[in-house]
Every structure is written in structure tokens, then in C-alpha cells.
Copies of this chain bind each other. A is one copy, B any other.
């Protein structure tokens, strides 16, 4: 018999909902950073007080509607804040979320045992 897998059998549609806490939170932030356009947007914002939508459109190699969508995702993830300044909209970093994300990533990467620790 070619064999199979025994206790591996699990039906678990939508496993993502099973995760909690910082695991979920970190993955959420990571997803927000998972596109180069969004990295660029955040980099831009982190170097200035604020930017208008148009500023990003000028600089990114994509249509205005697409840029708007990326801005929305960053907003939904909590990393940026929009402010109506008719007829324009300005964006800035959400410092609170930024610090939170910064800490989560730091703790995550710092958890790695050093090679010296491992060999002991």
C-alpha cells in the first residue's frame, strides 16, 4: 500500500480565523507592507509631515485609482490617517500604530536564539 496520512486529517475551512493575539496583529501589519507601492508611500510619509494623494500619484508607477486603493489599505490597517483638506486629502503616519508595529516586528525578530545559544 502506498500509504497516506492518518491523524493529519483535519477539516478546517478558514484557518485564518483560528489565529489570535500578536500573531494575527503582526501578520496584519505585514500584509499592509507586502506591496512595494505601500512601502514607498510609508517611506514618503515617514520623511515628511504629510502628503496629498496627488504627491503619491506623481511618484508611483500606477494609475490614480490604484494609488487610492493602496492608500485605503494602509488606512484600513491603521498605519496612516487621512484628513480632508478640500479639494484635497492629506495623509500622515499614525504614530501610535507605527510604534506598535515597530515593537511587534522588533520583538519578533529579536526572539531568534543566537547561534551560540543554539549550540549549547
Could you jot down 25 A-B contacts, CB within 8 Å? Answer: A5-B64, A8-B63, A8-B64, A15-B66, A16-B35, A23-B36, A23-B40, A23-B43, A26-B33, A27-B33, A30-B31, A31-B31, A42-B108, A43-B111, A46-B111, A46-B113, A47-B113, A48-B113, A49-B113, A93-B112, A95-B112, A95-B115, A98-B109, A105-B106, A106-B109
Q: Does A82 contact B (CB under 8 A)?
A: no
Closest-CB distance, A25 to chain B (whole angstroms): 9
Number of identical monomers bound together in the oligomeric complex:
2
Q: Does A83 contact B (CB under 8 A)?
A: no
Q: Does A81 contact B (CB under 8 A)?
A: no
A: residues with CB less than 8 A from B are 5, 8-10, 12, 15-16, 18-19, 23-24, 26-27, 30-40, 42-43, 46-49, 57, 60-64, 66, 93, 95, 98, 101-102, 105-106, 108-113, 115, 118
Nearest B residue to A119, CB-CB: B49
Taking CB atoms, residues of chain B closer than 8 Å to A35 are 16, 27, 31
Report how far A66 CA is from B40 CA in the complex, Å: 32
